[in-house]
C-alpha cells in the first residue's frame, strides 16, 4: 500500500519537515547521482506562489548533502514560453541561491529517447535527469487550466527542454489526449520521491493564478498517483474523474483509490476551493492560445551572414545536434530542432535570430 505523508509546515521551519519525509521514505544516496527538480514555471518572485518555494528546495539540498551523494544537481526547464530562460528563472525565484551551488542549466544538454508513436516517435529529455540514479521531485500545490491540478505527475513535464512542451500541447488536440501525453512523459523517468510544497497553494485559473491559498502543509510520497489523488481530494475532486490519473492506473503506475493509500496525517477538504474554469478545458479550447503555441513551436534559428563569423560555437553547443555548418553559416535541421534557444544565447556575435 502506498503512503502519503501530510505534514504541517511553514517556510520558516522546513528542515525538520524534510527530515521527517526522509525518515518515512528512506533513500540510499551515498555515491549516487542525485537530481532535484522543483517546479519552475517561469521567472517569478517566490511570494507569487507560482514556483516551488526556495525554502523547501534549500532544506532538501541541505538534507541530501548530508547523505554523501556522488553528485547533486538541481534544475528544471521552464514552461511553455520561457524556454531558454533557465538561469533567469532560477535567479528571480530565489531558487538559485537555495540550490547552494548545485544548479545546472539542464536545457543545454539533452538525450534522445523513444516516446509515443502516435505523437512523436522520440523526444529529447535533459541528460542530467536521464542519467540520475535518484530523482527527487518538488512539485507545487496548484490548479492547472488543462489538467485541473498540477502535482507529482505533471511536474515531470519539465524534463523536456525547449519547445517540445508546447509542441506536445499542440499535437494533443484535446484535454483528454493531453492528460495521456503527460503520463507518457512522466513514464520516461519516474522520480523516486515527491515532496509537495503546499504551504501556500494556488486555486482558480492556475498554474499562474493570483489566487493563493494558505494551506500550511507539505505532502510527500514515493508514488505520484497516490500523491495526486490526495491533492485532488483536498481540492474537492474525485480523483477517478481525472483522465491523467485514470491513464496512470491503467499503465500500472499506482492507484488513486483512497482505500488503497495509507494516509499519514490528517486529510482535510479545503473548503470552497476554486477550481479552474471549464473543468480543465479552457486553455486547450482557446484559439488565441493555440495560435501562439503553434507559432512558438515553428520558430527556427537563422544566422545573419553579415554578423556570423563561422566560429562554430552554436554547432558545438546544440544539445540535439540540429545544427551543421554549410557554406560558412550554421544551417538547422528543422525536424531535429527543439527550439531551446541555446544557439541564440551562446552566439558570441549575437548573429542568430529565431524566425
Residue closest to 149 by CA, chosen among 91, 213, 57: 213
**Mean per-residue pLDDT, 201-212:** 90
What does pLDDT average to over the chain? 89
Radius of gyration of the chain (CA): 20
- Give 206 or 112, the one with higher predicted confidence: 112
pLDDT in tens, 57-103: 999 999 999 999 999 999 999 875 555 578 999 999 999 999 999 99
Tens of pLDDT, residues 224-261: 999 999 999 999 999 999 999 999 999 999 999 999 99
CA distances to 63, 137, 152, 156 from 26, in Å: 12, 15, 18, 21
Q: How confident is the model at residue 334 (pLDDT cuts 50, 70, 90)?
A: confident
Query: Which of the pair, 172 or 6, is modelled with greater confidence?
Result: 6
Which run of H or of E encompasses 226? helix 224-234
The model's pTM is 0.85
- Tens-place pLDDT, residues 24-68: 999 999 999 999 999 998 889 999 999 999 999 999 999 999 999
| pLDDT in the model for residue 281 | 43
Q: Which domains does the chain have, with CATH numbers?
A: 2-294 (3.40.50.11440), 299-354 (3.30.70.20)
Amino acid at each position: 500500500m502506498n503512503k502519503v505523508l501530510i505534514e504541517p509546515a511553514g517556510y520558516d521551519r522546513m528542515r525538520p519537515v524534510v527530515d521527517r519525509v526522509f525518515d518515512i521514505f528512506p533513500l540510499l544516496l551515498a555515491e549516487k547521482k542525485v537530481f532535484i527538480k522543483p517546479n519552475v514555471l517561469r521567472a517569478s518572485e517566490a511570494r507569487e506562489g507560482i514556483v516551488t518555494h526556495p525554502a523547501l528546495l534549500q532544506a532538501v539540498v541541505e538534507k541530501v548533502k548530508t547523505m554523501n551523494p556522488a553528485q547533486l544537481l538541481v534544475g528544471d526547464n521552464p514552461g511553455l514560453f520561457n524556454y531558454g530562460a533557465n538561469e533567469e528563472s532560477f535567479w528571480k525565484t530565489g531558487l538559485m541561491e537555495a540550490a547552494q551551488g548545485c544548479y545546472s542549466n539542464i536545457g543545454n544538454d539533452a538525450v534522445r529517447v523513444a516516446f509515443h508513436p502516435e505523437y512523436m516517435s522520440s523526444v529529447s529529455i535533459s541528460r542530467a535527469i536521464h542519467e540520475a540514479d535518484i530523482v527527487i521531485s518538488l512539485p507545487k500545490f496548484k490548479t492547472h487550466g488543462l489538467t485541473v491540478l498540477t502535482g507529482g505527475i505533471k511536474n515531470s513535464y519539465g524534463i523536456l527542454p525547449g519547445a517540445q512542451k508546447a509542441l506536445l500541447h499542440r499535437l494533443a488536440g484535446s484535454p483528454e489526449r493531453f492528460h495521456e501525453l503527460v503520463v507518457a512523459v512522466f513514464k520516461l523517468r519516474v522520480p523516486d520521491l515527491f515532496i509537495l510544497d503546499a504551504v501556500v497553494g494556488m486555486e482558480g485559473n492556475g498554474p499562474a493564478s493570483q489566487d493563493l491559498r494558505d494551506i500550511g502543509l507539505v505532502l510527500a510520497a514515493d508514488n505520484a498517483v497516490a500523491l495526486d489523488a490526495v491533492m485532488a481530494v483536498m481540492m474537492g475532486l474525485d480523483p477517478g474523474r481525472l483522465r491523467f490519473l485514470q491513464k496512470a492506473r491503467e499503465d500500472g503506475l499506482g492507484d488513486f483509490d483512497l482505500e488503497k493509500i495509507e494516509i499519514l496525517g490528517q486529510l482535510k477538504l479545503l473548503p470552497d476551493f476554486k477550481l479552474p474554469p471549464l473543468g480543465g478545458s479552457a486553455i486547450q479550447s482557446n484559439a488565441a492560445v493555440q495560435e501562439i503555441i503553434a507559432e512558438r513551436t515553428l520558430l527556427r534559428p537563422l544566422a545573419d551572414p553579415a554578423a556570423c563569423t563561422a566560429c562554430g560555437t552554436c554547432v558545438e553547443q546544440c544539445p540535439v545536434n540540429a545544427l551543421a555548418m554549410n557554406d560558412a553559416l550554421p544551417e538547422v535541421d528543422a525536424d531535429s530542432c527543439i527550439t531551446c534557444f541555446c544557439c541564440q544565447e551562446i552566439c558570441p556575435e549575437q548573429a542568430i535570430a529565431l524566425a
